[in-house]
Amino acid sequence: MALIELNQLTRHFEIRPGLVDRTVRGKPSRLIKAVESLNIAVGENEILGIAGESGCGKSTTCMMIAGLLPPTRGQIIYRGSDLATADAAVRKEHRRNVQMIFQDPYESLNPRFRVADIVAEGPRALRLWDQKEIGDRVESMLAGVGLNPGKYTERFPHELSGGERQRVGIASALVMQPVMIIADEPLSMLDVSIRAGILDLFRELQDQRGFSSVYVSHDLAILGNVADRLMVMYLGQAMEVGPVEQVIRSPKHPYTRALIGAVAVPDPRVKRPVPKISGDISRPIDPPPGCRFAPRCPYADDSCHDTFLELDTSDPTRHQAACHRLHVLPDEGL
């Protein structure tokens, strides 16, 4: 049984125009279709990477999996039970077991809390252990993320560097002993010089503790490094999914090819035909049906504009792309 399974997971945001626009000018409210019909499963001990440009719905997906944002449609299935209809005990277990690491270490720590209280907050809120044990676990957790407890417990967030803050954020999630960590671009707000250190820490902790993870990044190099499987999103839709090396080394979908081509060509001797992308990336406001990449895709035909080919997640090891036109694409060099 998968740890987390997303079934047709969809989230729309309604943007209502101002009162005057709505009543006098008769402007309708519009829908941002931030995430559309995602199907994916994450197994125990597996790391699923999610890649995509900013605004493609990565954070929205994370928030839904963490139970912080209700889906518009579709299900989040945690160890076999649908969270929307699950009883309180299951939801409480999910709340503890699926923890999130936030993108912005400057915004995600309460400025009025000391480090020890930030890390102890989850166990205290859920009353996981008695106070003494919580204190002990907080100390060893801080040591585990490379922060000397004697030096850091009494500090406030403003007394820490960005990297130290992100370590505190990681400690506050991991002290709960979760089975899944959702990491929403945990490195993107950090200095390039300290990213490697935090990434190593993440992998080391993952090795020791064996949690599974949804790791979001727009950096394919990082994802290639940490993830087992990769899902590529574009404006709310999943474009391609598969084992990470396969997706990065032989991308199928025109969008993935463009994305990877734009990042770097790993081997200069390999000539990979990269489709030129035209048009602007926009927000998915009242998008037409069909593939959202179609307006920018050089290979698109009518079928692409009419229907979107959803991925089949029954086989988690399969490498597949949500594209009608794979047969007309030029072969990729491998």
Partner 1 sequence: MLASTASRWLHTARLGIGEHYRIIQSNPLSRIGFRLIVVFLVIAAFAPWIAPHDPWEMVYDKDGQFASLRPPSWEFPLGTTHLGYDLFSQLVLAARTTLVIGAVSGIISILIGANIGLIAGYYGGKVDEVLMRLTDILYGMPFLPFIIVLIALFGRKLEFVILAIVLIIWRTSARVIRAQTISIKQRQFILAAKARGASDLRIIYRHILPNVLPLLLLYAAFNIAWSIITEASASFLGFGDGETISWGGMLYELWLSGKTRVAWWWFAAPSICIVLLVTSLVFVSRAYEEVANPRLRKR
Backbone angles phi, psi at 83, to 5 degrees: -60, -30
Q: Residue 13 interacts with ligand ADP (CB under 6 A)? A: yes
Q: Which does 204 bind (CB under 5 to 8 A by kind): ligand ADP, Mg ion, partner 1, none?
A: none
Identify the three-state secondary structure at position 75.
strand
Q: Residue 243 interacts with ligand ADP (CB under 6 A)? A: no
Q: Within a 10 A sphere around the Cβ of 100, how many other Cβ atoms?
A: 22
Closest CA to 47 of 214, 210, 177, 248: 214
Residue of the chain from 32, 66, 258, 291 that contacts ligand ADP (CB under 6 A): 32
Q: Residue 125 interacts with partner 1 (CB under 8 A)? A: yes
Q: Residue 77 interacts with partner 1 (CB under 8 A)? A: no
Q: Which region among 74-82, 98-106, 244-252, 309-317 touches partner 1 (by CB under 8 A)?
A: 98-106
**60 contact partners, CB below 8 Å, separation of at least 6:** 11, 34, 35, 69
Q: Which residue has the tokens 């087992």?
A: 228
Q: Residue 214 interacts with ligand ADP (CB under 6 A)? A: no
Q: Which does 125 bind (CB under 5 to 8 A by kind): ligand ADP, Mg ion, partner 1, none?
A: partner 1
CB-closest chain residue to Mg ion: 59
* Six-digit token string for 257: 């090819």
Instruction: Please state, in angstroms and rounded to a whole number, the distance separating the CA atoms of residues 40 and 141.
Output: 31
DSSP annotation of 50: E
State which residue, 13 or 299, has the beta carbon closest to ligand ADP.
13
State which residue, 59 or 108, has the beta carbon closest to Mg ion.
59
State which residue, 61 or 99, has the beta carbon closest to ligand ADP.
61
Instruction: Please state, in angstroms and rounded to a whole number, the distance separating the CA atoms of residues 153 and 32.
Output: 42
Q: Which helix (H) or strand (E) is 275 found in, with range?
A: none
Q: Residue 108 interacts with ligand ADP (CB under 6 A)? A: no
Which positions touch ligand ADP (CB under 6 A)?
13, 32, 34, 52, 54-60, 283
